[in-house]
Chains A and B, each alone.
Chain A
Amino acid sequence: MNNLLEIQGLSKTYGSVAALNDVSLSIEPGHIIGLLGPNGSGKTTLIKIICGLLQANSGTVLVDGNPAGTADSRAAISYLPDQTYLDGDMTIEAIVDMFKYFYEDFDENRAMEMISSLNLNPKAKLKTLSKGNQEKVQLMLVMSRRAKLYILDEPIAGVDPAARDYILRTIISNYEPTASMIIATHLISEVEPVLDEAIFLQNGSIKLFKPIDDIRAEEGMSVDELFREVYRC
């Protein structure tokens, strides 16, 4: 089986600070991977390079066999950034139409079902919604695509526990089984139940990349407990 994501020798520096240091990893289709690490460990930098939003200093990134940042690699990725990135002056309906216009794999019916499940008015402007609802709308749009690689950067940070449960249920129920998903977060205990594998990132390097079951069996503790031990201040 060809790897969906292939990263070799990836490095990125900001001045004298190494955000990523010789990172290499491969991800096959059909896996949900937690990209875990404390603030400043390089999670968002790695994600942005995969999505073609940042230029690496060295190394290669192939998404479904295509170099990162090309049209084909972007078509394969459905990305949720860690901030609001949609035009607040647009209505939900207009944003759905925009996704439908640009993405061939966008499922409009799925998107509208999820939006109506939240009792949101499709004609409401995005900026009139609460922060939590804005993030849910963004998540729904991302999960309504039948992409090959879903990348969610801190999807549950900054929302209340009930909203976190909703977001995680939405992720699991709308995820394409043949696709892979990378969830970057530092809220390990919340996402651990949905993960197949975990990547621990520290100071721009991969410290661990193992299946969740192997971590529990070998370490005798949950991923959350292991994370607290590894990253203890």
Chain B
Amino acid sequence: MLGKFIKYDLKKTAPVMALLCGITILLGIVCSILQHWSQDTEYALIELLGLMVLCVIAPLHMISKYYCKSLYTNEAYLTYTFPASNKVIVSSKIIVTLIWATIFCASAFISLVAFTPESIMHVINERTDPKVVLKIIYLLFVMFLMGIAGVMALIFSICIGNLWRNHSTIGTILCFTVLGFTLMFIYMKNLGMSVAHRGDHFWGYEDLFWNFVCSIVLIVVFFVATVNITSKKLNLD
């Protein structure tokens, strides 16, 4: 049943999310073409601002119009009466949200690459050391995991916030604020500890290791906690 839910929800959310991802990629291509013609640097700012706006719109849409609507509004009466356990239902919603978060991150990366194709050509033409390319991929992957951990922190905060029926929004905001600061502290502390351990003041890719580990642990912990708490504390009024 989990696969069935995921397949259905991916299909249902595809029109809007595919459009947002498409716009994200198109933004990079259009800004790149316009910058190439006009040689103005303002298109870099448009690309950056456009990506920032889309990075707010896309997750807001998924979280509010899909995740929260299907689990915490009147539509929950339909969602939770499908022939599946609460754990399967909640897990499917989280997994679909994360799938689209991943696809959107990929779209944003493609948009940036499309905007600066010369950097890719430089890597190919100069036959850059593969280890450097791997390190760049590792850096991007760790940043992606940190972003996903942030999304999971928001989903967990929504779960905690909804334990207080009459103050769910305030509860969610408070919880996410605390978790957000905690995550930032953990990541910065990991970086600082790694640099201090090495004894110099330079930053290296090896310093990301504990952020890599922490991100994975946090994603798993938030996922399991959200599924279990939402399942056990389901109370639709």
Interface of A with B (CB < 8 Å)? Answer: 48, 51-55, 69-72, 74-75, 77, 79, 81, 83-87, 98, 101-103
Contact = CB atoms under 8 A, between A and B. Distances in A.
Interface of B: 1, 4, 8, 69, 74-78, 80-86, 88, 232-237
A71 B85 contact: yes
B77 A98 contact: no
Contacts of B69: 87
Given A69-B86, A71-B88, A101-B4, A51 B74 contact: no
Contacts of B80: 51-53
Please report whether the interface of chain A is mostly helix, strand, loop or mixed according to DSSP.
loop
A85 B234 CA distance: 17
B83 A54 contact: no
Nearest to B79: A85
Given A71-B1, A101-B4, A81 B77 contact: yes
Contacts of B233: 55
B81 A51 contact: yes
A106 to B, nearest CB: 11
B81 A55 contact: no
Given A53-B236, A55-B234, A81-B77, A98 B8 contact: yes
A223 B69 CA distance: 40
28 contacts: A48-B236, A51-B80, A51-B81, A52-B234, A53-B76, A53-B77, A53-B80, A53-B81, A53-B234, A54-B235, A54-B236, A54-B237, A55-B232, A55-B235, A69-B85, A74-B81, A79-B77, A79-B81, A85-B74, A85-B75, A85-B76, A85-B78, A86-B75, A86-B78, A87-B69, A98-B8, A102-B8, A103-B82
B236 A84 contact: no
Contact of A84 (B74, B81, B82, B83): B74
Nearest to B83: A75
B8 A70 contact: no
Please report whether the interface of chain B is mostly helix, strand, loop or mixed according to DSSP.
loop
Contact of A77 (B75, B81, B85): B81
Contacts, number: 62
Contacts of B232: 55
Given A55-B233, A71-B1, A103 B77 contact: no
A83 B84 contact: no
A87 B76 CA distance: 10
Given A72-B83, A74-B83, A103-B83, 14 more contacts: A48-B236, A52-B80, A52-B86, A53-B76, A53-B234, A53-B236, A55-B234, A69-B85, A71-B83, A71-B84, A74-B82, A75-B83, A85-B78, A86-B78
Nearest to A52: B80
A70 B1 CA distance: 13
Nearest to B7: A101
Nearest to A44: B237
B1 to A, nearest CB: 7
A101 B9 CA distance: 12
Contacts of A86: 75, 78
- Interface core residue of A74, A75, A79 (most chain B CB under 10 Å): A74
Given A53-B234, A87-B75, A70 B81 contact: no
A98 B4 CA distance: 11
A83 B74 contact: yes
B75 A54 contact: no
Contact of B83 (A55, A83, A102): A102
A51 B75 CA distance: 15
Contacts of B88: 71
A103 B83 CA distance: 7
Nearest to A85: B77
Given A53-B236, A54-B234, A70 B85 contact: yes
